Structure 1
Amino acid sequence: MKNRTIFWDILDWDQIQQYVFKFQRKIYSASLLKERSRTQFLQRKFLHSKLLRLWVTNQVIKFQKKYVTSFERHQIFLQLHNIMQMKYNKEDSEIIKEGKILLIYLILNPEWEAYFSIQKHNYSFSIKELVRKINHIASKKYSSLYIIKISLEHQIDLIYLSTITKRLNTFSLMNDSVNHILKSGLIQAYKEFITRKFFILQYNERCNLKLSLLLLEALFSEFSTIFCRYINKRKLIETTFQSTVNCQYVRYLHNFIILDPEKSRIEDLRVLLQYWLHKIGIKKRIKKPRKLSKSLNIELNHYLIIKKSIKNTSIYPSKYAQTYLLEIISNITRKMRNASLILFVHVISIVLKCWKSYFSICNCSEIFNKLDNMIFQKIRAWVFRRHSNWSKDSIKQKYFAPIIDIKYYKRLYTGNWILSTLSSSKNLDTTVMVVPKLRWHNDGVNFNQTNVSNLFHLNYLYRYGMYSKLNIL
């Protein structure tokens, strides 16, 4: 390998991909059987694999905007070997850093995916499942129901990095490599992303976000073990008094929710959660359990869940999510004053589709209509600013031509004053590009990409496949 030139175009990438997934399947199976020594042995062997470094180099180059020469590819391949000297130099280029992060992610992901599959009952794989689960719990008839809810969105960067590496409990070389990457600001970048771009997290394929999400999931899963031990002890005690334990614990990303009809039990859990948060470095105070009345009102991950009765539950986007969407549209109209119409429609469509897909379970047509009107006013101002000397009829004919029976996913829509343009691109399904309305239905939309928020999408025992590129429009 050292004395040979690597010809990237003639390599059998399908065969290399099968090798990578086959090795990940072995790690997954060993972890699933709780064979700790065998899991670490396979991870070490996987780390020293040259085919893995070839695969990582190819995947990192694939998403680069600039052209990468053969010499640069070979240098990246050789630099990935530096992870075995436990070095993570600041002078390394961004592409090499991404390669090292992806390399560590591919090694650690199968082990923790197996662990999460065992602890499946304490997790919600998507925000939609979490909302439905809370709605189902709250619909049960209890004489009283108490809730503890805490979000660590703004405290993630306060976590002690040593607690993350300690939780991984892997071999020393991997621990040191993860520690170097964490010190380079991996968690801070993740915090900034989930604060400002929460609704596109599940469609993003950046390596640093994948690894950040995996490490935080591994750390936060520690409290589920504490919770299960406490509940098992309470069950042993309360079975002698012929009482049942109806405590429910759910978590999605950095959101923790505990529901229990008994106040003393949920108080104990609040103390345990507070102690565990102090242990990992978060000093945030948890409020006392709140008693839920017949009307449930919970704000979670920019969702607002309002339950007025057993059969009447309303789910809305939070006020922050609505304001932030309008802020994004304003920034686009301001920064793209002289952009082409096709590019403008393309960017606006991606933002609106991602935002609506995130809030697709919301049953609030009035809010969507209100946001559509506000967005239309901003787009209308952008158009009239471009052609201040044109008449209203000329602008309407060029930018807002009436559309008749245009297909948007599985439905046909007819409308007036909708920004549209003709496209000559062969990659698009239709020659007409429009800015979609939020009130239009896109339920059941399956984007053609990996869902980052769902760590359990890939079953290594049965499936082989590639990560596909993001293709929204």
Structure 2
Amino acid sequence: MGKTLISWDILAWDQIQHYVLKFQRKIYCASLLKEKSRVKFLQDKLLKSQLFSLWTTQQIVRNNQLGLNCAQKYEIFFELKSLSETSLAKISRKKIVIKGQIFLLKLVLLPEWDASFRNQQFNYCISIPEIVQNIQRVCLKKQFSHFFEVNLSRYINDINFGIVLNQLNSSLKIKLYISQLLQSGLLENYRNFITYRYFTVEGTHRLDIQLSNLLIDIVFHEFSQILFKYTQKRNLLFSKFEKEGRQEYQYLRSLYSFVILHSEYDNLKEIQHLLTCWLKTRGIYLKEEVISIQSTNSSFNFAYYSFQKIDEKNFQIKPSISAQKHLLNLISAMSNRMKNSPVSVFISKLSLVLKRWKNYFSLCNCKRVFNKLDEQIFQKIRGWAFRRHPKWSKNKSKIKYFPKINGLKYYDRIYSGNWIFSNISTTEEVIILDKLRWVTPKSSTYYCCFDKLYRFNYLYQYGMNW
């Protein structure tokens, strides 16, 4: 590249992207063929590539919507390039450069581990709502009578990532990068994020959360193979003594959440003991008494969802009471913190929370619960509006914040109302707060946006475009 700064916009970004995807495809194929030395060689070559650093800088600047000039972009590029070419791993102090380093690590590691996860794609679920769909389908078809759920979100800081770093088929430099990120508090931020925003973990665009999700998958992906070998040997052993010795099970996992369904309580107890023993090798000491085995024949809870079996063919799925209380407390906290915020900002922030929460619980078939929540949310917002102008009459506040709206189009339906929170009285672009009970098409939910088969197939995903 030299010292001459070429204009940033005239660079052939399509060809640079082609180069990056080509290298990712090579890493993916080498990992499928289990050529470990070739995977390590390609990862190091991609990490030291100038075009890779250029493309990373472009993605970081574009995704963060930074208004930087050409010289500032090249400054980020040269710093990323110098950090990538040095023999020692070093984390920068600039936030934008740290995001670039995290993005580099994610793009280097993702093809290798997508190939490793390929054999488990029918056990792995992209999101919690997908697990909920599978639980409903499996319980109705195969009649699994018992299951247990393990949520390890509280134990993430206890994970022994020294074992994980040994599993990585990467160079020492990449391992040192990941080790320094972990020591800088990467998992602590992830732990705080998933505690208060459980419904946005899968759909977030934050790079540190995406890299943490990948590391969590690397930690827990091995248990499916252990469970398969265990059940295979157990079925082979008991088939010699019993005619019906073969027992089926269903294993589902999404990040740090495990769900195992079985028709026999005693067999599920054995799997529970196997899981707790295996988690000790990862640094998580979980007592078996903490894992409760639930019956699918009655009502049960999973990941803030509440299941209630109506008959043999139907389940009623609704948000759990704790999820409803969490949403109302979150809205109360937002209204207290944003007392003097502009109406448009308050509506946009609140609308984002409601849309994410609604997408997370879009599988629920409970209009009464959503109507009740809409009424409680309305009471909190009305109190926020009236407290902003204590000397105004209630009618004047109502006209300003809750004007009458006719013919509002929301996706494929048209709604009208007299108490819809909006900023129509201002001169800004019109923003209206959605209702939870308003119907949203399933295609708009973020967890159904892509097929798992395409996600695990780099050859199909990128090979057809070039």
Mapped contact 2:299–2:306 kept (Cα < 8 A): no
Q: How far does the alpha carbon of each residue in 1:342-366 deviate from its partner, in whole angstroms, 9 at most, with x for none?
A: 2222222111111111111111222
| Aligned residue type for 2:438 | W
Tell me by how many angstroms 1:447 deviates: 6.2
CA distance in 2, matches of 1:183, 1:214: 17
SS in 1 for 2:202: helix
Judging changes above 3 Å, is the alpha-carbon distance between structure 1 residues 452 and 316 closer, same or farther for their aligned structure 2 residues? Answer: same
Pick the aligned partner of 2:288 from 286, 289, 292.
286
CA distance in 2, matches of 1:249, 1:172: 34
Moved over 6 A (4+): 447-456
Which segment drifts farther, 158-167 or 394-403?
394-403
CA distance in 2, matches of 1:139, 1:235: 24
2:434 — aligned with what? 436
CA distance in 1, matches of 2:336, 2:90: 39
Which segment drifts farther, 266-275 or 236-245?
236-245
Which segment drifts farther, 59-68 or 189-198?
59-68
1:206 — aligned with what? 206
Judging changes above 3 Å, is the alpha-carbon distance between structure 1 residues 457 and 130 closer, same or farther for their aligned structure 2 residues? Answer: same
1:109 aligns with 2:110: yes
SS in 2 for 1:414: strand
1:121 — aligned with what? 122
Q: Residues 138-177 of structure 1: matches in 2 within 5 Å?
A: 138-140=139-141, 145-177=145-177
2:304 — aligned with what? 302
Tell me by how many angstroms 1:445 deviates: 4.4
Pick the aligned partner of 1:405 from 384, 404, 407.
407
Judging changes above 3 Å, is the alpha-carbon distance between structure 1 residues 140 and 464 closer, same or farther for their aligned structure 2 residues? Answer: closer
Tell me by how many angstroms 1:450 deviates: 11
Q: How far does the alpha carbon of each residue in 1:390-434 deviate from its partner, in whole angstroms, 9 at most, with x for none?
A: 233322222212211211112111112111223766xxxxx6421
Mapped contact 1:43–1:107 kept (Cα < 8 A): yes
1:219 — aligned with what? 219
CA distance in 1, matches of 2:320, 2:451: 20
Q: Residues 368-447 of structure 1: matches in 2 within 5 Å?
A: 368-422=370-424, 432-446=430-444
CA distance in 1, matches of 2:322, 2:266: 34
Tell me by how many angstroms 1:140 deviates: 4.4
1:100 — aligned with what? 101
| Aligned residue type for 1:321 | A
Mapped contact 1:148–1:290 kept (Cα < 8 A): yes
CA distance in 2, matches of 1:19, 1:464: 11
SS in 2 for 1:348: helix
2:273 — aligned with what? 271
Mapped contact 2:157–2:188 kept (Cα < 8 A): yes
Pick the aligned partner of 2:340 from 338, 341, 344.
338
Judging changes above 3 Å, is the alpha-carbon distance between structure 1 residues 391 and 3 closer, same or farther for their aligned structure 2 residues? Answer: closer
- Report the TM-score when normalising by structure 2: 0.90
2:36 — aligned with what? 36
| Aligned residue type for 2:253 | R
SS in 2 for 1:87: coil
Tell me by how many angstroms 1:449 deviates: 10
Provide structure 1 residue ranges, at least 5 long, that are not aligned to the other structure: 426-430, 466-473
CA distance in 2, matches of 1:391, 1:54: 58
Pick the aligned partner of 2:459 from 458, 461, 464.
461
Q: How far does the alpha carbon of each residue in 1:258-311 deviate from its partner, in whole angstroms, 9 at most, with x for none?
A: 2222344323322221111111111121236636262141x2222222224323
| Aligned residue type for 1:127 | I
1:258 — aligned with what? 260
Mapped contact 1:295–1:307 kept (Cα < 8 A): yes
Q: How far does the alpha carbon of each residue in 1:207-262 deviate from its partner, in whole angstroms, 9 at most, with x for none?
A: 11111000110111011111111122123224444432212211122111222223
Q: Percent of aligned pairs with the same residue? A: 39
Judging changes above 3 Å, is the alpha-carbon distance between structure 1 residues 171 and 252 closer, same or farther for their aligned structure 2 residues? Answer: same
Which segment drifts farther, 65-74 or 10-19?
65-74
Pick the aligned partner of 2:367 from 365, 368, 376.
365
Provide structure 2 residue ranges, at least 5 long, that are not aligned to the other structure: none
| Aligned residue type for 1:254 | Y
Judging changes above 3 Å, is the alpha-carbon distance between structure 1 residues 350 and 57 closer, same or farther for their aligned structure 2 residues? Answer: same
| Aligned residue type for 1:181 | L
1:135 — aligned with what? 136
Across the aligned residues of Structure 1 and Structure 2, the Cα RMSD in angstroms comes to: 2.7
SS in 1 for 2:252: strand
Judging changes above 3 Å, is the alpha-carbon distance between structure 1 residues 51 and 311 closer, same or farther for their aligned structure 2 residues? Answer: same
Mapped contact 2:252–2:260 kept (Cα < 8 A): yes
2:47 — aligned with what? 47
Tell me by how many angstroms 1:104 deviates: 0.6
Judging changes above 3 Å, is the alpha-carbon distance between structure 1 residues 458 and 266 closer, same or farther for their aligned structure 2 residues? Answer: closer
SS in 1 for 2:364: coil
Judging changes above 3 Å, is the alpha-carbon distance between structure 1 residues 151 and 219 closer, same or farther for their aligned structure 2 residues? Answer: same
CA distance in 2, matches of 1:418, 1:386: 18
Q: How far does the alpha carbon of each residue in 1:307-334 deviate from its partner, in whole angstroms, 9 at most, with x for none?
A: 2432331212122321221122122222
Mapped contact 1:150–1:286 kept (Cα < 8 A): no
Mapped contact 2:351–2:434 kept (Cα < 8 A): yes
Mapped contact 1:6–1:74 kept (Cα < 8 A): no
CA distance in 2, matches of 1:112, 1:379: 46
Mapped contact 1:147–1:291 kept (Cα < 8 A): yes
CA distance in 1, matches of 2:326, 2:120: 35
SS in 2 for 1:62: helix
Judging changes above 3 Å, is the alpha-carbon distance between structure 1 residues 141 and 8 closer, same or farther for their aligned structure 2 residues? Answer: closer
Judging changes above 3 Å, is the alpha-carbon distance between structure 1 residues 190 and 199 closer, same or farther for their aligned structure 2 residues? Answer: same
- Report the TM-score when normalising by structure 1: 0.89
Mapped contact 1:147–1:259 kept (Cα < 8 A): yes
SS in 2 for 1:133: helix
2:11 — aligned with what? 11
Corresponding residue pairs, total: 457
| Aligned residue type for 1:408 | Y
| Aligned residue type for 1:62 | R
